[in-house]
């Protein structure tokens, strides 16, 4: 079995070396690691010199989603995993994939467990959130939309991209969620590896995993547009359409709250009025936010002893 790892990099990728070094090469599998680099040629040359086994591709300078799509087009592996430059691959994940995929060739997406961590001022690491419960990692509509999509913990067979298409650059801020939403609605077969696969780093430079104050996440507006696009398509099941309308309302609420916290009061007020005019049931739909808060914060770790949860993850919630 050949496994392709795709890592996206720019000249300022601070943790790239750590990400590359986390990939194991020994096991009952062949490995292909591709780094798609948007930046200076000198950085890419230095990368090739330091890691001669890695194939470094020159990106087109069109952003992370376009770079990921380029990597998928170039990958030749049976399974493909996106390893972000600030994340780490966990030991034993590739070996477990080789065993499980050989036993069950019908499964096209293999999902592992994941954790989000941050580095404390004393250089120790603290786990922010751990996603180990199968109810949280399952490739489902609920999880893809209202929890972490976990693309970096999911090995996708190359035929998945043939079936549903590559990453969509028109959703550059939420391409992982958009891709996995297509996979869910297409009924792509998925199963659990039951091992830790991905460690995702929370830091101020991340566009998705960070707590910077006064920041309005750009992916929230894309979530609303994504839901609208699917709701407008013919043939979407009524139950799915209802879920996506409610999800859109919840994401718009999050967007308005972030705008208020950032002092963008006029934009928030205009957005609220626009939603009221667009959908008379909007206030009813956002009431569903209470039902998903447990899922969104499930397994939350609080600041404390590095790596030690102060709030244990429930196993049956």
* Among 201, 232, 252, residue at a domain's last position: 201
Is residue 75 domain-shared with residue 194, that is, in the same domain?
Answer: yes
Q: What percent of the chain has pLDDT over 70?
A: 90
- Confirm whether 296 is domain-assigned: no
Instruction: Give per-residue burial for 265-280: e unless 16+ CB within 10 Å, then b.
Output: eeebeebbeebeeeee
Q: Is the pLDDT of residue 309 over 70?
A: no
CATH number of the domain enclosing 193: 3.90.550.10
- Confirm whether 297 is domain-assigned: no
Provide the domain count of the chain.
2
- Confirm whether 85 is domain-assigned: yes
Is residue 138 domain-shared with residue 192, that is, in the same domain?
Answer: yes
pLDDT (mean) for 105-110: 98
- Confirm whether 299 is domain-assigned: no
pLDDT computed for residue 288 by the predictor: 84
Is residue 129 domain-shared with residue 189, that is, in the same domain?
Answer: yes
Lowest-confidence pick of 30-34, 195-199, 291-295: 291-295
Q: How confident is the model at residue 287 (pLDDT cuts 50, 70, 90)?
A: confident
Place of tokens 């718009």: 252
- Confirm whether 210 is domain-assigned: no
pLDDT computed for residue 314 by the predictor: 30
- Confirm whether 189 is domain-assigned: yes
Is residue 61 domain-shared with residue 184, that is, in the same domain?
Answer: yes
Is residue 273 domain-shared with residue 168, that is, in the same domain?
Answer: no
Q: How confident is the model at residue 295 (pLDDT cuts 50, 70, 90)?
A: low
Is residue 22 domain-shared with residue 142, that is, in the same domain?
Answer: yes
Is residue 116 domain-shared with residue 243, that is, in the same domain?
Answer: no
Q: Is the pLDDT of residue 251 over 60?
A: yes
- Confirm whether 316 is domain-assigned: no
Q: How confident is the model at residue 148 (pLDDT cuts 50, 70, 90)?
A: confident
Is residue 170 domain-shared with residue 79, that is, in the same domain?
Answer: yes
- Confirm whether 301 is domain-assigned: no
Is residue 188 domain-shared with residue 274, that is, in the same domain?
Answer: no
Q: Is the pLDDT of residue 305 over 60?
A: no
Lowest-confidence pick of 47-51, 197-201, 224-228, 273-277: 273-277
Is residue 105 domain-shared with residue 249, that is, in the same domain?
Answer: no
Instruction: Extract the tokens encoding 7.
Output: 């890592």
Is residue 47 domain-shared with residue 162, that is, in the same domain?
Answer: yes
Show the domain range for 145.
2-201
Residue 303 vs residue 84, higher pLDDT? 84
Its pTM stands at 0.88
Is residue 188 domain-shared with residue 281, that is, in the same domain?
Answer: no
* Among 201, 234, 268, residue at a domain's last position: 201
């Amino acid at each position: 079995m050949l496994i392709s790892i795709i890592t996206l990099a720019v000249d300022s990728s601070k943790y790239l070396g750590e990400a590359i070094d986390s990939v194991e090469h020994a096991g009952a599998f062949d490995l292909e690691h591709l780094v798609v680099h948007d930046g200076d040629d000198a950085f890419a040359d230095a990368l090739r010199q330091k890691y001669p086994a890695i194939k470094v591709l020159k990106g087109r300078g069109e952003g992370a989603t376009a770079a990921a799509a380029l990597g998928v087009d170039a990958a030749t592996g049976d399974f493909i995993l996106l390893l972000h430059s600030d994340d780490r691959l966990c030991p034993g994940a590739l070996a477990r994939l080789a065993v499980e995929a050989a036993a069950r060739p019908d499964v096209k997406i293999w999902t592992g467990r994941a954790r989000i961590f941050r580095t404390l001022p004393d250089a120790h690491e603290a786990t922010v959130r751990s996603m180990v419960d199968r109810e949280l990692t399952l490739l489902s509509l609920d999880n893809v939309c209202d929890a972490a999509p976990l693309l970096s913990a999911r090995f996708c067979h190359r035929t998945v991209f043939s079936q549903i298409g590559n990453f969509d650059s028109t959703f550059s801020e939420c391409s992982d969620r958009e891709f996995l939403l297509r996979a869910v609605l297409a009924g792509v077969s998925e199963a659990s590896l039951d091992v830790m696969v991905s460690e995702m780093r929370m830091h101020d430079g991340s566009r998705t995993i960070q707590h910077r104050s006064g920041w309005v996440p750009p992916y929230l507006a894309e979530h609303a547009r994504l839901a609208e696009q699917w709701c407008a398509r013919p043939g979407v099941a009524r139950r799915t359409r209802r879920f996506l309308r409610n999800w859109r309302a919840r994401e718009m609420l999050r967007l308005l709250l972030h705008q208020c916290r950032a002092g963008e009061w006029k934009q928030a007020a205009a957005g609220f009025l626009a939603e009221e005019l667009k959908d008379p049931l909007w206030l009813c739909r956002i009431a569903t936010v209470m039902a998903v808060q447990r899922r969104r914060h499930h397994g939350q770790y609080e600041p404390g002893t590095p790596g030690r949860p102060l709030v244990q993850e429930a196993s049956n919630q």
